[in-house]
Structure formats: C-alpha cells, structure tokens
Amino acid sequence: MAQARRGRSSLRQEVADEIKRHMLDNRMRPGDLLPTESALCATLGASRSSVREAVKSLAALDIVEVRHGHGTYVGGLGLSALAESVTFRGLLSPDDDFRAYADLVDVRELFERGNADGIVAALTPAQLDALDDLVTEMARHSAGGDGFTAADRAFHTLLVAPLGNDLISQLTQAFWDSYATVGPQLDMVTLDDERQTLAAHRAIVDAARSGDASAFAAAIGAHYAPVRGRVAAARGPAARS
C-alpha cells in the first residue's frame, strides 16, 4: 500500500513538472489559459486522474488556478503556501519554540534595515504621506484589533514597495503574516507593544522623510529591539534547562 502511494506521488510530481515545463516553453504568464484536461492528457501522455492530481498540487502552490466551469489558468504565483508553511513551523518547532519566531524577526529586519539606502532614496513624498497616514490609522485603532493590524501590515508592505522588487514585497508580506500569527501563540505580544510600535513607526517615517539612511536603519533596529529582548528572555530559561 505504501509503495503504491509513493508510486502515485512520484507520477503526480512528474506530470506536475511537465505542466510547469509546458508553461515555461510557451512563455505563459499569470492569467493565461492552460490547455484543457483532455489536451494535457494527450500532450503529456498521462491519464486523466494523474493530470487532475497534478493540477490539484499545483493549485495548492498558486502555480495554477482552477476556475470551475471556465478552465485552468496560470496562477498568481503568490507565496501564500510559503507563509502557511513558515507559520506552521513556528507553531510546531520541535526543539525551541522561540527559535522560529526569532528567525522571523531576523528576516523582517534584514529586508528593511538591509535595504535602508535604497528605501530612503526611492520613497516619494506621496509615499511618505501615505506612511504617515497609516501611522495615524494605527493610532486611531488604539485598542488594537483588525484595524491596527491591517494598518501595520500595510505600513511594512509600503515601506519596501519603492525598491521595485516584487519578490521582496511578497516575502515581506508572507513573513509579516507568519510573524503576526506566531507571536500571540507564544505570548510574545505585550501591553506595551502598541505604544512601542506606534513610536517606532513614527521614527521610521521621520528618518525617511529627512533622507537620513543611517537614522532610518537605526529606527528599524529600534523597532525590532523590544521583541528581540522578549525572545531572549523567553529562551533563557529553556536554554538553561
């Protein structure tokens, strides 16, 4: 039985790889319509069930999008699957519950602090105003909740947008989502978080508006410093034990 499952899995992967090769060879783009199931079966020499299983696995990765009644299209190629995997890793860390969370902090800071020069140089007055508006929106939702969280996410998304790097933008959103999910589960969110977050975001915008990349990088570091301290404190007893 196990061998049969491995065989089906291997065949599904082979067909999925062939579908991806078809997309590459034909220079297809997100939103383009793929051949019908029958045409794929004929082209790939695969059974209908194998094609269906392969398409299902590709859909889970957003490589294809199945629109029932319309066909199968090249997907948006987003990173939702990565975000879900990273989140689950953070919630189910076998050795150190806080290690995955600390890694998320490292990655988020790396994207923003490591690109300080490029971000400060590229931010437009309109984008700076939009960042200010998001900080105001966060303050307006001072009781926390969805409004505060949504504005926080939008702030960090907009912060890296001027880089013009779609991969960094998508990764920033993916890691932010994972970070926001894992933190509360590990009791990493404190009553001071909201106040500290607002102050840090204002400092980041002020530094960017002044055109000072060094001050911007320092403000980013200060933004993540409190959570780093809490992670270190939480990991201390575990490390000693």
Instruction: Supply the pLDDT for residue 239.
Output: 46
What local confidence, expressed as pLDDT, does residue 141 receive?
84
Note whether 30 and 127 are same-domain residues: no
Q: For residue 25, give the CATH number of its domain.
A: 1.10.10.10
Q: What pLDDT, on the 0 to 100 scale, is given for residue 136?
A: 94
Residues 64 and 94 in one domain: no
Domain shared by 23 and 139, yes or no:
no
Domain boundary pick from 74, 91, 122: 74
Both 54 and 112 in one domain: the answer is no
**199 and 123 in one domain?**
yes
Tell me, yes or no, whether 223 and 107 share the same domain.
yes
Q: How confident is the model at residue 201, as a pLDDT?
A: 95
Reading the chain (241 residues) residue by residue, the pLDDT tens digits are: 434 444 566 788 899 999 999 999 999 998 999 999 999 999 888 999 999 999 998 887 788 999 988 899 998 776 666 666 666 665 566 455 577 777 878 888 999 999 999 999 999 999 999 999 999 999 888 765 678 888 999 999 999 999 999 888 888 888 788 777 776 665 655 556 778 888 999 999 999 999 999 999 999 999 988 878 877 777 665 444 4
Instruction: Please give the residue range of the domain that contains residue 202.
Output: 80-240
The per-residue pLDDT for 59 is 87
Burial class of residue 175, CB neighbours in 10 A (0-12, 13-18, 19+): buried
Report the first-to-last Cα separation within the chain, whole angstroms.
43
Domain stop point among 74, 101, 132: 74
- The whole-angstrom separation of Cα 170 and Cα 78 is 7
CA distance to 169, 180, 236, per residue, from 227 (Å)? 22, 12, 14
Q: Are residues 89 and 105 in the same domain?
A: yes
Predicted local confidence at residue 84, as pLDDT: 63
- Do both 11 and 127 map to the same domain? no
Q: How far is CA 194 from CA 106, 178, 186, 189, 228, in A?
A: 20, 18, 17, 9, 16
Instruction: Report the C-alpha gap between 194 and 175 in whole angstroms.
Output: 19
Number of domains within the chain: 2
Residue 138 sits in a domain whose CATH number is 1.20.120.530
Express each pLDDT in 75-122 by its tens digit. 877 666 666 666 666 556 645 557 777 787 888 899 999 999 999 999
Assess whether 70 and 85 both reside in one domain. Answer: no
Residues 95 and 198 in one domain: yes
User: Are 92 and 68 contained in the same domain?
Assistant: no
For residue 115, what pLDDT is reported? Answer: 96
Q: Do 170 and 65 belong together in one domain?
A: no
Of 54, 74, 94, which residue is a domain's last?
Answer: 74
- Long-range contact set of residues 191-198: C-beta below 8 Å, sequence gap at least 24: 192/226, 193/226, 194/142, 194/144, 194/148, 196/226, 197/138, 197/152, 197/223, 198/135, 198/138, 198/139
